Structure 1
Amino acid sequence: MPETTHILSRGKIFQLLSDHREEILKFSVTSLAVFGSAARDELADDSDVDILIELKNITFRNYMHLKFYLEDLFHREVDLVPKDCIKKGLEKYILAEAIDVPGF
């Protein structure tokens, strides 16, 4: 698990994703949004980053490589959720607070 050494803001997360856009797109990402504490800009030292994704080519390998890449980028755990795998009871809450990352 990546070691958390600093508090991230929503703006910093968006900036990191934007700065690494070309590399992230190599994982077949077609859309990317943040939700949870990252979307509310309430990340604590021990918070993970919740990311909602859509991929053109979703394979276990692609998914895991993207997850590890983002964890290295943020220096913390990432909860990577494919949009079509959201639990039905949580869908309306997650989609209501999800903020699309520009450029994805």
Structure 2
Amino acid sequence: MDKEKVLDFLKENKEVFSTKYQISSLVLFGSLARGEARDDSDIDIAIETKLSDYFKLYDFKEELEKQFQSKVDMIRLREKMNPRLKSRILNEGIYVR
């Protein structure tokens, strides 16, 4: 998967995702963000949302997987989460603006 294609899609649809899934931030991280992705790599996306309906969040994940034809690992950014993972997301992540 091409990093720029993923970022372009997320940027183009950010308002839709904000309205539909109450997402306030999208962050691409992991091997794709670092430019180390292989053909079989998944797409790692961290989100900030006020939505507490996990079924709707799963719908969002499925929507992205269908669009990218690739597995998407989605993590919800929270105050209380694994500090090492959170640090990695914040340091290597590419924020969708």
TM-score between the two structures when normalised by the length of structure 1: 0.81
Q: Which has the higher helix share?
A: 2
The residue type paired with residue 41 of structure 1 is G
Q: 1:92 aligns with which of 82, 87, 92?
A: 87
The residue type paired with residue 14 of structure 1 is L
Partner of 2:10: 17
Q: How does 1:1-104 map to 2 (within 5 A)?
A: 8-25=1-18, 26-84=20-78, 86-102=81-97
Unpaired segments of 5 or more residues in structure 1?
1-7
Count of residue correspondences: 95
Partner of 1:5: none
Q: CA RMSD in A?
A: 1.6
Contact 1:9 1:41 survives alignment (8 Å)? no
Unpaired segments of 5 or more residues in structure 2?
none
Identity %: 35
